[in-house]
Amino acid sequence: MCPRIRGKGGNMRTVPAIAVALAVCGLSVSVVVYMIDAGGVDVFKTFCMQLKGGATTDEAILRLYHPKIQSLAGLEEAWKASLGDGR
């Protein structure tokens, strides 16, 4: 369910919330594609399983993507660099 946002005049709208959700989903897909490109599908599956098993994001990244990526901050930096425009 999308969060409801109060628009001008007090009426409730969900369209802006949907737009935000779609943008966030697009970014999420981009990061996942980057992670699969960096390590392969099996490594990404193992990453997800480690998170489910209680590992922190940094622990799972360090175990599976080292030495290329060593932390969540490093993942963000490498992903942004892969976009080619420094975003």
Q: What per-residue confidence (pLDDT) applies to 26?
A: 76
Mean pLDDT of the chain: 82
pLDDT at position 53 over 80: yes
Tokens of 65: 């993507």
Show me where the domains of the chain are located: 5-81
- Please check whether residue 65 is in contact with residue 39, taking contact to mean a CB–CB distance below 8 angstroms: yes
Global pTM reads 0.71
Cβ atoms of residues 51 and 60 within 8 Å:
yes
- For the segment 61-83, what is each residue's pLDDT rounded down to a tens digit? 999 999 989 999 999 999 999 99
Res. 46: pLDDT tops 70: yes
Grade residue 10 by pLDDT with cuts at 50, 70 and 90: low
Residue count of the chain: 87
Q: What backbone torsions phi and psi does residue 86 show, to the nearest 5 degrees? A: 75, 15
